[in-house]
Amino acid sequence: MIRMSSPVAPSPDRKFLMKKKTGDRLFSLALLLPTILMTIIFILIPVVDSVIKSFLDYKVKNIISGVPGKWNDFANYIRLFQNSKLVPSIFITFEFVIIVVAMQFVFGMALALILNSNMKFARFFRSIMMMPWVVPTIISALIWMWIYQPQYGLLKYLVSFFSMGHISEFAILNHPSLALFGIAIAALWKQIPLTTLLLLAGLQNLPDDMLEAATVDGANGVARFFRIVLPYMKSVIKVAMSMAIIENFKQFPLVWTMTGGGPNNSTTTLAVLSYREAFVSNNLGSGAAVTTVWMLLMMVVVFVYNHLMRTEVMD
């Protein structure tokens, strides 16, 4: 007769480990639950609602009367393309993002390299460097509006001084070809400190033995920077510049406060156009359509950037 072996009962230690593992998972889920709920309630649901409204004839009067909007397929998108509002705003947004992100990396890296050196008062400069980043965006906009003020602004005084009085006014925000660059300078003033801090943290984690070995092999400072520093900091640069792209893609308070999208719509980004369509023209469906295009473009740009910046683990 063949005897069937009875199943082996788990040992007490194994039972304890299984219970501990289950408890850890439940505890982790409990910690993540508030974040998940906040993400669903305040991000996912509004995004889905905005996408749905972009296909509706939905105006402010619909909110007041409580009447739901009528489905109009792609009428909001077609109207935005036909009235030549959407495409120029897309180009202006990309121009603004490219200018600010590129200059932010250059100046941020330069400052990080300076602060990472053995200069005197480096800690003091690191502390005061974060002051522009702490200042609220609206306050930053007001400060730079005062600097650019064409009658009594600081920039007008400096231009008049260095030009020996030949240039008496320099209204940068009133000039269609210069207004966007003026806003970009204000954005850089506020955002460079955080980028510098992130890049500085990456520089301080560089292994000294790699730099010393490169120096012994005869590599100069430029060669060490491009062949060792930049490749090693690729992951830090990826995160810092991804944050910069997202921040400037959704930049609204700075642009709206300083120019309101003018002059002659030369600074009307997608954020400004979305606000104008929804709350100035009182067409919430059209504003939602702009927001949907804006969100999709931002997702594509971030995806392409992260694909191009794929990091490889260094040995």
How many residues in the chain? 315
Inside any domain, residue 2: no
pLDDT tens series, the chain, 315 aa: 455 555 555 566 666 566 667 777 888 888 899 999 999 998 899 999 999 999 999 887 777 777 888 889 899 999 998 888 899 999 999 999 999 999 999 999 999 988 888 777 777 887 788 889 989 999 999 999 999 988 888 888 888 777 776 666 678 898 899 999 999 999 999 999 999 999 998 888 888 787 777 777 777 878 888 888 888 899 999 999 999 999 999 999 999 999 999 899 999 999 999 999 999 888 999 999 999 999 999 999 999 998 888 754 343
Tell me what pLDDT residue 12 has. 61
Beta strands in the chain (DSSP E): 56-57, 70-71
Domain count within the chain: 1
CA 279 from chain centre, in angstroms, equals 24
pTM for the structure as a whole: 0.86
Residues spanned by the domain of 170: 70-308
Inside any domain, residue 8: no
Q: Which two tokens stand for residue 146?
A: 């005062």
* pLDDT, tens digit (0-9, with 9 covering 90-100), for 260-274: 998 999 999 999 999
Inside any domain, residue 48: no
Angstrom distance (rounded) from CA 168 to CA 16: 81
Inside any domain, residue 156: yes
- Which of 109, 258, 106, 88 lies closest to 184, judged by CA? 258
Per residue in 91-129, is it b (16+ CB within 10 Å) or e — as a string?
ebbeebbebbbebbbeebbebbbebbeeeeeeeeeeeeb
CA-based max dimension of the chain: 114
Per residue in 174-193, is it b (16+ CB within 10 Å) or e — as a string?
ebeebbbebbbbbbbbbbbb
Contact 173, 148 (CB under 8 A): yes
- Tell me how crowded residue 81 is: count the other CB atoms within 10 A of its CB: 13
Angstrom distance (rounded) from CA 231 to CA 268: 37
Instruction: Measure CA of the first residue to CA of the last residue in the chain; give whole Å.
Output: 61
Angstrom distance (rounded) from CA 211 to CA 215: 6
CATH number of the CATH domain containing 143: 1.10.3720.10
Inside any domain, residue 248: yes
Inside any domain, residue 259: yes
Inside any domain, residue 238: yes
Tell me what pLDDT residue 313 has. 38
Place of tokens 């009367």: 65
Inside any domain, residue 163: yes
- Which of 205, 246, 247, 195 lies closest to 228, judged by CA? 205
Grouping H, G, I as helix, E, B as strand and the rest as coil, residue 265 is: coil
Angstrom distance (rounded) from CA 197 to CA 108: 8
